[in-house]
């Protein structure tokens, strides 16, 4: 007989599997629940207080160097990647024509000064001539009065025969001559006075130094001196040279781009956030940024300084035409400008156009979404173009004073270049970073 109470292990296994499966599913569900709760807590406590984007790029002031006057390039003072200081000579144009024009303007000023001084000197002789004409008129008027008296005294004597007719006719002729002389003298007085008035009109109310003709000639000298100064192209800001396209001997026109100077010490980031992220962004919020060139370990600190007035598509060269029949909604992005801490830039320099990842903390909502007050200070300014006029004013003052000056034969060195030549060479404040090798 066989024992039917005993079962094989193979037959018992199917009855145990449902319990093990149920236990495994419970563990998985519990793990998913815990992960969901953890993720929800992290999102509530941390993630919802930040807005991030990787659509961000470094931007800066790219200063284009263009000549104000045309000319032939005879010297190039900087090349691509070179560091230049503010006021450093970048390009020198041929100044021969400008020197000739300046010499002509200075000669014209000297001649004008002498002509104006002659005008002032002529006033005294003209006044003396008026006085002489008036004296002659008084004398002739006295002669006329005497001639009238002679005629009136002889008139009654003619009837009695005491005075002959011939003598009376002679007296009348003298009277007529005296009358004509008075008329001529009076006209001469009026003509002399008119000449004096005309001369005084050219000089009245101003000195020889402030005469309009002298001022106009001095303005021509300043104009010629400016044209001479503008044959030397100076760097308006410090930075690094890029996109040099000018060559020696090239004939350049006014306004033609020759090179650019990029200031790497004052950069910012334009972060393009989605329109759904703008609701929480405010001016003044803090941001952390990382650059692909340095990796995630190098963190830059920044501040939101402004939000764009429109989307990038609205200001593009060819704006989208959404009133067409086929339309697909595309999420728009708005540029947000973020300033970078200068100390971070000094330690880890960046370049214009590099990619950045931006994380803005939006917990602080006290700021405004748009700027509410106008800017009180200029965004940028330079004084490198103000060094030439004092030298021109000195030469103009000496010419007006009557001094003889030799014509300039070369362009004077600017004050900034002279100071840089006397001072020891200084190291560049922003070192160019070496590109990291691809991992």
CA pair distance 101, 96, nearest whole angstrom:
9
**What does the pLDDT read at residue 46?**
58
Q: Are residues 256 and 189 in the same domain?
A: no
Is the model more confident about 120 or about 355? 355
Q: Is 437 within a domain? A: no
Is the model more confident about 407 or about 350? 350
- By mean pLDDT, which of 19-23, 220-224, 399-403 is the weakest? 19-23
Q: Are residues 206 and 228 in the same domain?
A: no
Say yes or no to pLDDT of 229 above 50: yes
**What does the pLDDT read at residue 261?**
96
CA pair distance 154, 150, nearest whole angstrom:
6
Q: Is 438 within a domain? A: no
Q: Are residues 205 and 296 in the same domain?
A: no
Is the model more confident about 330 or about 93? 93
Q: Are residues 124 and 185 in the same domain?
A: yes
Summary mean pLDDT of the chain: 82
Give the pair of three-digit tokens for residue 144.
């006329």
Q: Are residues 258 and 393 in the same domain?
A: yes
**What does the pLDDT read at residue 408?**
82
**What does the pLDDT read at residue 432?**
40
- The CA R_g of the chain, rounded to the nearest whole Å, is 47
For the stretch 2-23, pLDDT in tens is 454 444 544 444 555 677 777 7
Beta bridge partners, 376, equal none
Contact in structure between 233 and 258 (CB atoms under 8 Å): yes
Q: Is 294 within a domain? A: yes
Show the DSSP H helices in 289-359 as ranges. 342-347
CA neighbor of 126 nearest in space, from 205, 209, 220, 193: 193
**What does the pLDDT read at residue 405?**
84
Band the pLDDT of 263: cuts 50, 70, 90. Answer: very high
In the chain, the number of structural domains is 3
> Among 181-185, 274-278, 314-318, which range has the highest average pLDDT?
274-278
Beginning with the edge strand found earlier in the chain, give each strand of the sheet holding 83-84 in spatial order. 62-65, 259-262, 239-242, 83-84
Boundaries of domain holding 175:
99-216
Say yes or no to pLDDT of 138 above 50: yes
- By mean pLDDT, which of 145-154, 350-359, 413-422 is the weakest? 413-422
CA pair distance 162, 170, nearest whole angstrom:
15
Show the DSSP H helices in 81-164 as ranges. 96-160
Q: Are residues 256 and 291 in the same domain?
A: no
Is 147 exposed, middle or buried (CB count within 10 Å of its CB: 0-12, 13-18, 19+)?
Answer: buried
Q: Are residues 106 and 89 in the same domain?
A: no
Distance of CA 102 to the CA centre of its chain: 25
- Percent of the chain at pLDDT exceeding 70: 84
Q: Is 37 within a domain? A: no
Contact in structure between 257 and 66 (CB atoms under 8 Å): yes
CA neighbor of 303 nearest in space, from 271, 334, 276, 264: 271
Q: Is 198 within a domain? A: yes
For the stretch 77-92, pLDDT in tens is 999 999 999 999 999 9
Beta bridge partners, 337, equal 270, 306
**What does the pLDDT read at residue 424?**
43
**What does the pLDDT read at residue 415?**
55
- By mean pLDDT, which of 186-190, 227-231, 322-326 is the weakest? 322-326
- By mean pLDDT, which of 326-330, 404-408, 427-431 is the weakest? 427-431
Say yes or no to pLDDT of 360 above 80: yes
Band the pLDDT of 335: cuts 50, 70, 90. Answer: very high
CATH code for the domain of 279: 2.40.30.170
Q: Is 181 within a domain? A: yes
> Among 165-174, 185-194, 237-246, which range has the highest average pLDDT?
237-246
Q: Are residues 303 and 165 in the same domain?
A: no
Give the pair of three-digit tokens for residue 322.
């959404």
Q: Are residues 250 and 276 in the same domain?
A: no
CA neighbor of 83 nearest in space, from 265, 210, 257, 247: 265
**What does the pLDDT read at residue 434?**
39
Average pLDDT over residues 352-380: 90
Q: Is 367 within a domain? A: no
CATH code for the domain of 70: 2.40.50.100
Q: Are residues 210 and 351 in the same domain?
A: no
Q: Is 271 within a domain? A: yes
Q: Are residues 202 and 281 in the same domain?
A: no
Q: Indicate whether this model's pTM tops 0.85.
A: no
Q: Are residues 348 and 291 in the same domain?
A: yes
**What does the pLDDT read at residue 99?**
94
**What does the pLDDT read at residue 22?**
76
- Percent of the chain at pLDDT exceeding 90: 41
**What does the pLDDT read at residue 79?**
95
- By mean pLDDT, which of 116-125, 162-171, 414-423 is the weakest? 414-423
CA pair distance 339, 304, nearest whole angstrom:
6
Q: How many CA atoms lie within 13 A of 355 on its CB side?
A: 7
């Amino acid at each position: 007989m066989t024992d039917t109470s005993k079962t094989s292990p193979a037959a018992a296994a199917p009855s145990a599997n449902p319990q093990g499966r149920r236990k495994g599913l419970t563990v998985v569900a519990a793990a998913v629940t815990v992960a969901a709760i953890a993720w929800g807590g992290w999102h509530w406590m941390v993630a919802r207080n930040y807005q991030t984007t990787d659509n961000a790029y470094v931007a800066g002031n790219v200063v284009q160097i263009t000549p104000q006057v045309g000319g032939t390039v005879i010297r190039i003072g900087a090349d691509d990647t070179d560091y230049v200081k503010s006021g450093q000579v970048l390009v020198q144009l041929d100044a021969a024509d400008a020197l000739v024009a300046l010499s002509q303007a200075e000669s014209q000023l000297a001649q004008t000064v002498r002509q104006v001084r002659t005008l002032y000197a002529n006033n005294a002789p003209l006044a003396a001539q008026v006085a002489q004409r008036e004296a002659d008129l008084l004398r002739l008027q006295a002669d006329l009065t005497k001639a009238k008296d002679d005629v009136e005294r002889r008139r009654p004597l003619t009837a009695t025969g005491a005075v002959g007719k011939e003598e009376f006719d002679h007296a009348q002729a003298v009277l007529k001559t005296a009358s004509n002389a008075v008329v001529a003298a009076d006209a001469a007085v009026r003509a002399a006075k008119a000449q004096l008035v005309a001369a005084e009109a050219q000089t009245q109310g101003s000195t020889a130094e402030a005469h309009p003709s002298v001022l106009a000639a001095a303005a021509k000298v300043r104009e010629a001196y400016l044209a001479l100064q503008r044959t030397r192209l100076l760097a308006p800001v410090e930075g690094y040279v890029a996109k040099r396209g000018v060559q020696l001997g090239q004939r350049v026109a006014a306004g033609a781009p020759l090179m650019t100077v990029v200031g790497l010490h004052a950069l910012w980031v334009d972060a393009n956030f989605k329109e759904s992220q703008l609701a929480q962004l405010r001016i003044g919020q803090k941001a952390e940024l990382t650059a692909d060139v340095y990796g995630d370990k190098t963190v830059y600190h920044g501040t939101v300084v402004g939000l764009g007035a429109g989307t990038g598509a609205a200001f593009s060269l060819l704006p989208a035409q959404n009133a067409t029949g086929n339309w697909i909604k595309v999420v728009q992005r708005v540029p947000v400008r973020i300033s970078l801490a200068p100390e971070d830039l000094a330690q880890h320099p960046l370049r214009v156009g590099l990619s950045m990842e931006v994380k803005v903390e939006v917990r602080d909502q006290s700021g405004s979404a748009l700027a509410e007050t106008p800017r009180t200070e200029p965004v940028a300014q330079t004084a490198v173009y103000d060094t030439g006029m004092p030298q021109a004013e000195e030469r103009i003052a000496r010419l007006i004073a009557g001094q003889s000056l030799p014509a300039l034969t070369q362009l004077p060195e600017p004050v900034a270049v002279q100071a840089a030549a006397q001072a020891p060479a200084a190291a560049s404040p922003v070192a160019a970073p070496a590109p990291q090798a691809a991992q």
